[in-house]
């Protein structure tokens, strides 16, 4: 009898996630009848310990708000996850739980498809786990950046038009505007955007957030997080299947 293998996504209020359909369709396409993907909506990260006791679980994805909180529950971190300080993929092999970061891989793939020579400075909106992966990739490609968050010196109340004019790469890393709160939007000086700006919102549901709609009104090039999500999911699959 073929061993059942369970994979899944842990997060909070994540019924909207694309992951279950994505991996279920993938397993069907590859005729992998023993593999199942589930959504695990947790109230508290400590609940993850119960999952780790289940020998059928071979891999997990991790999303908001647990990308940093899950680290103490793991045995090892990949070099990349260690440097980033956030985990969105866990592989379980021979009882060892190893945290990885495939957000960085997905973001890099997205960025390099659209990056132009004149995208020289970036503003990162948000300071959570996804933002950490973005910072890692910007450093790798020598792109200077500033972080705008509620708890940083530069925040949504004091962000000036000049900062936006001088930073023609904007990456929105907060969950503001995610389904079902689609009308929500960060406070941002959109009228400082131009056709030279590349605005990436890591949200993928809805396809077009209010933030991207507002940015497009000022002719900025806009991208959502769907391609990044696909790429990080494929990287997670590769990690789960590696020896």
Domains of the chain, by residue range, sit at: 5-101, 104-227
Q: State the CATH architecture for 104-227.
A: 3-Layer(aba) Sandwich (3.40)
Residue 76's H or E segment, with its range, is strand 76-77
Q: Identify the CATH class of 5-101.
A: alpha beta
Q: What is the pLDDT of residue 64?
A: 86
Mark the ranges of the chain whose per-residue pLDDT is less than 50: none
Phi and psi based region of residue 126 (left: phi greater than 0; alpha: psi -120 to 50; beta: remaining):
left
Q: What is the pLDDT of residue 81?
A: 96
Q: Of the residues 21, 26, 29, 67, which is catalytic? A: 67
- Do the domains spanning 5-101 and 104-227 agree at the CATH topology level? yes
35 catalytic residue (yes or no): no
Please indicate, yes or no, whether the overall pTM of this predicted structure exceeds 0.75: yes
Interval 93-143: pLDDT, tens? 988 999 999 999 999 999 999 999 999 999 999 999 899 999 999 999 999
Q: What is the pLDDT of residue 1?
A: 58
Instruction: For residue 192, count other CB atoms closer than 10 A to its CB.
Output: 18
């Amino acid at each position: 009898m073929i061993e059942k293998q369970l994979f899944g996504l842990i997060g909070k209020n994540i019924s909207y996630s694309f992951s279950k359909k994505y991996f279920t369709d993938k397993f069907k396409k590859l005729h992998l009848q023993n593999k199942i993907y589930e959504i695990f909506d947790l109230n508290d990260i400590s609940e993850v310990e119960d999952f780790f006791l289940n020998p059928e679980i071979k891999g997990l994805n991790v999303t908001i708000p647990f990308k940093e909180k899950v680290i103490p529950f793991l045995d090892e971190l990949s070099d990349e996850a260690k440097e980033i300080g956030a985990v969105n993929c866990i592989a379980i092999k021979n009882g060892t739980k190893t945290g990885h970061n495939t957000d960085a891989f997905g973001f890099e793939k997205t960025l390099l498809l659209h990056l132009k020579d004149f995208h020289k400075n970036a503003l990162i909106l948000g300071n959570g786990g996804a933002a950490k992966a973005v910072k890692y990739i910007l450093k790798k490609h020598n792109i200077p950046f500033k972080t705008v968050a509620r708890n940083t010196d530069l925040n949504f109340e004091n962000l000036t038009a000049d900062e936006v004019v001088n930073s023609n790469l904007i990456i929105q890393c907060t969950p503001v505007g995610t389904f079902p709160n689609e009308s929500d939007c960060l406070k941002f000086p959109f009228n400082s955007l131009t056709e030279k700006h590349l605005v990436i919102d890591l949200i993928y549901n809805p396809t077009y957030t209010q933030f991207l709609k507002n940015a497009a009104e000022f002719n900025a090039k806009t991208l959502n997080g769907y391609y990044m999500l696909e790429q990080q999911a494929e990287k997670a699959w590769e990690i789960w299947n590696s020896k």
